[in-house]
Amino acid sequence: MPPIQHALLSASSAYRWLKCPPSVMATKDIRDEPSVYAEEGSTAHEMAEYKVRKYLGEADIEPPLTGGFDAAEIDRHTDTYLYYVTEKIEAIRKSCPDAAVLVEQRLDFSNYVKDGFGTGDLVIVADNVIQVIDFKYGKGVAVSAERNPQMMLYALGALNLYDYLYDITTVKMSIVQPRLDIISEWEISVADLLEWAENTLKPIAKLAAEGDGEFNAGEHCRFCKLRATCRKRAEFMLDVAKHEFAEPAELTDDEIAGILTIAPDLAKWADEVFAYAQARTINEGKKWRGFKIVEGRSKRRYENESRIAEICRKNGYKVSEIYKQSLIGITDMEKLLGKAKFKELLGDYIIKPKGKLTLVPKSDKREEVNIFSQFKEEI
């Protein structure tokens, strides 16, 4: 699989930049955060691509490695994708034997979006119709094909490639999410797609490319690299949180229901801001007014279990006393030996690692860690 290239105004991020045009330039210099979920998704995509290419008769291609991910699960879900894809290909070939089937095809839509391109998982081009299919391995959020800008941009790219060869009137779009057992389908006429491209897409893309337009907060913030520090998102979340809850003294049932609806988004936003602040403190020594870094709680653990077992046996303790399925826990061992004997015999073999650094309010009773002295020691 060739190295993945990403456009600044990419199809995959179109849902965000169409809603919030200036976010493109505001985040262009922020590096992507590596994620095990993204790695897993890439691995599954490679397997899906391999299976489709094998079905289409490509020879001399090797199956991709699945690394540390669940190979059986990837195999099962990519099979679901393959079955759907082959059904579509065969159905279209019945009416159009010379239909073009494009796998991992670069699709250029730069006539509408500056330097815009994307990579379509599968595109089938035939008389009257373009079928765009996207494979999504995530299991967190269901994605609908209806008016999905990523899919519509792919369709525009496919039209740019093949409109002169085929009389295309309709675009069909499918998103396959096998881990959620969901296949979403939607279609649009080419005339309506081009109207959207000219009158909606093109002017917003121009704003985004120039860093203009208004910041807007909403569901599209989820994958924005500025989500933890964006002022517009903070204003939006805080406005939602304080929504007319001043009077009367008790919340109504409707207000409680409203809070239940927005609570997950508020909690996620708060977690993202906290994680950002904590990471800057730990990695850069950043100070936040009213907060400090302390060591989190940690548990004692044995440094050398075999050595401890040997000492206990030599001092008359039976194997059945000190072992369960493994060596009994430190608290149980301390109870068995007594605190004084425990300290005398095993004190040198018990370690208490430093707790994980965590950001807490100043009112916390734990002692503040001097993060700057740690930096000096490391240097």
Written as six digits, the tokens of 253 are: 């049932």
Task: Give, for 331, the enclosing helix (H) or strand (E).
Answer: helix 330-337
Query: How many other CB atoms are there within 10 angstroms of residue 236's CB atom?
Result: 18
pLDDT tens track for 241-270: 666 555 666 777 887 777 777 777 778 878
**Joined tokens for residue 250:** 């008790």
Q: 65 is written with which tokens? A: 């490695």
Q: Over the stretch 43-102, which tens digit does the pLDDT of each residue have? A: 999 999 999 999 999 888 888 988 888 899 999 999 999 999 999 999 999 988 888 999
Residue 288, pLDDT > 90, answer: no
Residue 332 has pLDDT above 50, yes or no: yes
Pair 120, 137: CB distance under 8 Å: no
Q: What is the secondary structure of 183-215 as a DSSP string?
A: EEEEEEEHHHHHHHIIIIIHHHHHHHHHT-S--
Q: What is the C-alpha separation between 34 and 285, in angstroms, rounded?
A: 22
Query: What is residue 2's predicted lDDT score, i.e. its pLDDT?
Result: 46
Mean pLDDT of the chain: 85
Q: Note the pLDDT tens digit of each residue in 181-210.
A: 899 999 999 999 999 999 999 999 999 999
Distance CA 231, CA 215 (A): 9
Domain limits of the chain? 14-210, 219-273, 301-351
Integer Cα distance of 29 and 250 in angstroms? 46
The two tokens of residue 92 are 């279209």
* Element containing residue 282 per DSSP (H, E): helix 253-284
- Distant-in-sequence, close-in-space partners of 260: CB < 8 Å, separation ≥ 6: none
CATH architecture of 14-210: Alpha-Beta Complex (3.90)
